[in-house]
Structure 1
Amino acid sequence: VPRTPQAAPAAPSVSAAVPQIQLIPASAEGALDAAEEAVDLLLDTGRAPGDVLVLTTGDLHPWAAHELSFGEAAYWAQHDAGDDVFYADAAQAARASGRPVVVVAVNGGPASAAAAVLPVALARAGALLIVCGDPKEINSVLGAGV
């Protein structure tokens, strides 16, 4: 019996809108600052804070590190409330719910971090995915993985 090929799990459904992707070139050291500037611009142009999820591939954003010092439960309760910009480690991207805008700071971490997080980030982004990092690395991932 011939097997019917199945669609790749990353393929969006026909009705799913594909978010716009914006690349902001930055070094690993400057990616977090670039992400912060992107968030500030989003908020300044009327985007609600609860619409934005920021993921980091290297060091945690200082807000996330601070909030995690109060425990995982309190940290994720803020995520679930959805009232403010939420910052998370890329390794926890799958746990984060979708938001209209996802910003990814490729600020170091293992070489595979960007490849692992970008497809998840794209799936979580409702309207816009902003990626701050090395354009060559990001384009190779987005070209092959998304």
Structure 2
Amino acid sequence: PAPPRAARPGPPQLVPKPGPAPRRPAPAEPRVEVQRIAATPAQAVERADDAVDLLLESGRNPGDILVLTVDEAHPWQQHELSFGEERYWAQLAEGGDVFYADAALTRPVRREVVVLVVNGGPSARAAEAYARALDHATALLVVCGDAGPAAKGAAGTTPGRPGKA
């Protein structure tokens, strides 16, 4: 029979030194894919609407999509606000449909897909909106229009039509 474990010959046992445990690298967050759709400020809302339609046709759930506008509110946002602020914000909390908001949205919301509509405003606001939109997206950011150099040089950026990531 084999000798008990303590009696087995082998390398000496290492005793950990007292002190803080070694740091383990934090798990990497999944990278958000960025797609750009060329549009002038005047075309951006229309291109965003087309993008949302394509996303829905590709199988995305409406509640997975957030549309953010840099300048003037999207017409659908204006329509929803006509029923009152309370009802409008309740739709965000319910999360069952595409939600339209200003890019300066400060409420904590994450959606799989964010469509950023660069429909005017100063370039600094568009660049800030791009950074915020990245924070709101978990899988895909679709930028309709010119959001500045940061959006153009984003790693993983692919021009084209939005699809299922």
Letter in 2 for 1:103: V
5, 16, 32: which one aligns with 2:45 = 32
For structure 1, list consecutive stretches of 5 or more residues without a partner in the other structure: 1-12
Residues in 2 aligned to 1:75 and 1:37: alpha-carbon distance in whole angstroms: 23
Q: Distance in 1 between matches of 2:126 and 2:62?
A: 24
- 1:141 alignment counterpart: 150
Letter in 2 for 1:129: L
Once the two structures are superposed, residues 22-57 of structure 1 have per-residue CA deviations (whole angstroms, 9 ceiling, x without a partner) of 000000000010000000000011100000000001
Q: Percent identity?
A: 50
Name the SS for the 1:108 alignment partner.
Answer: coil
Counterpart residue number, 2:120? 108
SS in 2 for 1:70: coil
Q: Map residues 39-78 of structure 1 onto 2, 5 A cutoff.
A: 39-78=52-91
Give 1 or 2: higher helix fraction: 1
Structure ID, larger Rg = 2
**Residue 15 of structure 1 pairs with residue 39 of structure 2:** no
What do the CA deviations read for 1:109-132 (whole angstroms, capped 9, x no partner)?
Answer: 233221111111111111100000
Question: In structure 1, how many angstroms separate the alpha carbons of the residues matched to 2:108 and 2:79?
Answer: 18
The offset of 1:91, in angstroms, is 1.7
Q: Secondary structure at the match of 2:126?
A: helix
- What amino acid does structure 1 have at the position aligned with 2:114? V
Q: Supply the distance in 2 between the matched residues of 1:70 and 1:28 (Cα, whole angstroms).
A: 27
Give the total of aligned pairs: 130
Counterpart mapping for 1:79-94 below 5 A: 79-92=92-105, 94=106
Hey, what's the Cα distance between the residues in 1 that align with 2:151 and 2:27? Answer: 20
- State the Cα distance separating 1:144 from its structure 2 match: 7.4
Structure 1 counterpart SS, 2:76: helix
SS at match of 1:91: coil
What is the identity, as a one-letter code, of the residue corresponding to 1:107? N
* Contact kept in structure 1, 2:68 and 2:117, CA below 8 Å: yes
> Aligned residue for 1:121?
133
Residue 58 of structure 1, CA deviation? 1.2
